[in-house]
Amino acid sequence: MCELAEAEIPCSFYNFTNENNFLKFETFVIFNGSTNYNIDVSFTIPEKNYTISELQDLVNNKTDRRTFGNGEEYELRLEYDPQTLKIEFKILFGGYTGNPNNKIDAPFKIHQDSTAAGILGLSLDDYCVVADSEQTARFIGTKAINLHRTMNVYVRTNLQLTNVDAKGEMSGILAKVQVDKPFGEIVHYHNIEKIRFLIADKFVDNIQIVLETDDGRALDFNGLDFHLTLAFFYVKEQLQTYVETLHDKIKALESHIPNDDEIPIGD
């Protein structure tokens, strides 16, 4: 048997990495009442850990006043509602020139290449319609924003453990450690419940360990070490005594019932 006895895990992993830091919006605008332009607003969030206010500052400064066509300007802004925990993107167009012939002509939607949609509470299937005026489109997240990189750290091994996951499949996960500390601190774990798993391997000559997120991605601790203590126990294999079931008894009775051709018939 094996258990994760204790662990020290640094909260040094970023909530935005190269796996979830790209965001892209697209829409169409009419320029001077006739010419259509496809506007793609895209940006990559640098790999760091962000609070919502830091993310707002980054996005609003990074996308400040872009141009298209003949120098017309547009702007993408990020706002946050603490009462709903949702974010809102606004694309402002035409406000700098005041040209009433410049307007948004199509839904404001998220591009399929966006990898940051999930953590920001956005859905790739949703889009917003033009709101406020034809020169402003609003896109409100359908889900609350969750800037936690992961709520748990899963200790996965290459051992064949008698552990069944949510899919009903055998899993090599030895423990689930709750991330109950903020960024920059250390999570201390102790196996108070003494959760242990039987090892199905015939022998163990090496142990491989990966710490994963809720969605099964390997965590990057940015150069800091984590510490784990594994405990192994030897138990005597005990064979369970077979208990005869009702089905077994019925089968036994049926086996003693003679066939029709075996029943003697009198003269």
Domain boundaries, the chain: 2-13+150-218+220-232, 22-140
* Mean per-residue pLDDT pooled into runs of 10, the chain (267 residues): 95 94 78 63 89 90 58 76 90 56 64 89 71 64 89 94 75 93 96 89 89 93 96 76 78 75 58
Mean pLDDT of the chain: 81
- The residues facing 93 across adjacent strands are 74
What distance in Å separates the CA atoms of residue 138 and residue 131, rounded to the nearest whole number?
6
What distance in Å separates the CA atoms of residue 70 and residue 132, rounded to the nearest whole number?
25
**pLDDT value, residue 77:** 83
pLDDT per position as a tens digit, 43-75: 889 999 999 999 999 888 765 555 555 555 667
Helices (H) and strands (E) in the chain, counts: 2, 18
What distance in Å separates the CA atoms of residue 116 and residue 122, rounded to the nearest whole number?
8
pLDDT per position as a tens digit, 94-135: 544 445 555 655 566 788 889 998 899 988 776 665 545 556
Q: Are 74 and 64 in contact (CB under 8 A)?
A: no
What distance in Å separates the CA atoms of residue 22 and residue 120, rounded to the nearest whole number?
11
Q: Are 7 and 227 in contact (CB under 8 A)?
A: yes
pTM of this prediction exceeds 0.95: no
What distance in Å separates the CA atoms of residue 120 and residue 116, rounded to the nearest whole number?
6
Q: Are 220 and 13 in contact (CB under 8 A)?
A: yes
Q: What is the DSSP letter of 47?
A: S
